[in-house]
Amino acid sequence: MKTLLQTSTALTLFAASTTAAFAADKAAVLTNYSNIAEAKYQDSLTTAKILQSAVEALVASPSAETLDAARTAWIDARVPYQQSEVFRFGNAIVDDWEGKVNAWPLDEGLIDYVDAAYGGPSDENALAALNVVANPTFELSGKTIDASDITPALLEGSLHEADGIEANVATGYHAIEFLLWGQDLNGTDHGAGARAFTDYAAGADCTNGNCDRRGAYLKAATDLLVSDLEWMAAQWATDGDARTALLGDEDAGISAMLTGMGSLSYGEQAGERMRLGLMLNDPEEEHDCFSDNTHNSHYYDGKGVQNVYLGEYTRVNGDVVSGASLSDLVMAVNNDLDAEMRGKLSATMDALGAMKAAADGGFSYDQMLEQGNAEGEALIMGGINGLVDQTQSIERVVTALKLEGIEFEGSDSLDNPSAVFQ
Please tell me whether residue 422 binds another protein under the rule CB under 8 A.
Answer: yes
Residue 172: closest CA among 187, 152, 158:
152
CB of residue 164 to another protein, shortest distance in Å: 5
CB contact set of 95 (below 8 Å; sequence gap of 6+): 88, 89
Q: Which of 168, 222, 263, 327 binds another protein (CB under 8 A)?
A: 263
Q: What is the DSSP string of 333-372?
A: H-HHHHHHHHHHHHHHHHHHHHHHHHHHTT--HHHHTSTT
Nearer to another protein, 281 or 346 (CB): 281
Kindly indicate which of the ranges 17-25, 180-188, 300-308, 410-418 contains the residues binding another protein, using the contact rule CB under 8 A.
Answer: 410-418
Nearer to another protein, 38 or 108 (CB): 108
CB of residue 181 to another protein, shortest distance in Å: 20
Q: How far apart are the first and last CA of the chain?
A: 55
CB of residue 418 to another protein, shortest distance in Å: 9
CA pair distance 385, 422, nearest whole angstrom: 42
CA pair distance 387, 44, nearest whole angstrom: 24
Please tell me whether residue 89 binds another protein under the rule CB under 8 A.
Answer: yes
Q: Which of 189, 267, 343, 375 binds another protein (CB under 8 A)?
A: 267
Preceding amide of 80 cis, omega within 30: no
Q: Which of 186, 208, 281, 334 binds another protein (CB under 8 A)?
A: 281
Q: Cβ distance 176 to 74 under 8 Å?
A: yes
Nearer to another protein, 28 or 264 (CB): 264
Kindly indicate which of the ranges 37-45, 108-116, 280-288, 353-361 contains the residues binding another protein, using the contact rule CB under 8 A.
Answer: 280-288
CA pair distance 100, 96, nearest whole angstrom: 9
Tell me the residue length of the chain.
422
Binding mask 162-201 for another protein (x = CB under 8 A): -xx--x----------------------------------
Please tell me whether residue 402 binds another protein under the rule CB under 8 A.
Answer: yes
